[in-house]
Structure 1
């Protein structure tokens, strides 16, 4: 194996669909929340949120999917960049905040 992520690997998700059909259906329905157009949050903003979360969770498949869907929904490159950097700032903030826990546990050891 020369890399971790390959677009061709997505087909293997269907193995999960066969092995755990009800759970896979539930996940799939949950995943469809982003593309809803009749919610209080407009589709463009749903995609911006999805882009930010995809970067925070580090899912390359979600990053690709929502960057493309976001562009189709009217997200600009500038908006996407700001959303990604907001996610990065919050992830860094969470790491720093949790750093206090490490200090606490270190002192207790």
Structure 2
């Protein structure tokens, strides 16, 4: 997906949201601003940005990784903290594979011949 990423040019497509769904875009922007408000939240901004970075890594959203890694650094995150956020995301994604593997065993039981 990253081969499609163009930080500057991609933002120009926001015009479609502005033209077609300006009310939803405004609501989303207000929501995002509230979530990432510098002050007035229980979790400091740096940690909210590190959480967002980890989620972006987990969902493999290059736009989220770009924006939230930069915002985390601007909020005081170190390279060590970025690295740990990446490892947390990696562990969660791997854990999901492990847990869903167990689910495959469980659901696979339905296909096994049952003794009468």
For Structure 1 versus Structure 2, the TM-score category normalised by the shorter chain is 0.7 to 0.9
**Which string of whole-angstrom CA distances, capped at 9 and with x for unpartnered residues, describes residues 9-64 of structure 1?**
12112202321122222222222212432211111111111111111111111111
Question: Equivalent residue for 1:4?
Answer: 4
Match of 1:106 among 75, 96, 108: 108
Q: Greater CA radius of gyration, 1 or 2?
A: 2
Contact 1:52 1:86 in 2 (8 A): yes
Contact 1:35 1:47 in 2 (8 A): no
The alignment partner of 1:63 has SS state of helix
User: TM (normalized to structure 1)?
Assistant: 0.85
Q: Which ranges of structure 1 fall in alignment gaps of 5 or more residues?
A: none
With the length of structure 2 as denominator, give the TM-score of the two structures.
0.81
**C-alpha RMSD of matched pairs (Å):** 1.6
Where in structure 2 are there 5+ consecutive unaligned residues? 112-116
Q: How many residues align?
A: 107
Q: Counterpart of 1:64 in 2: which secondary structure? A: helix
Provide the residue aligned with 1:62 in structure 2: 64
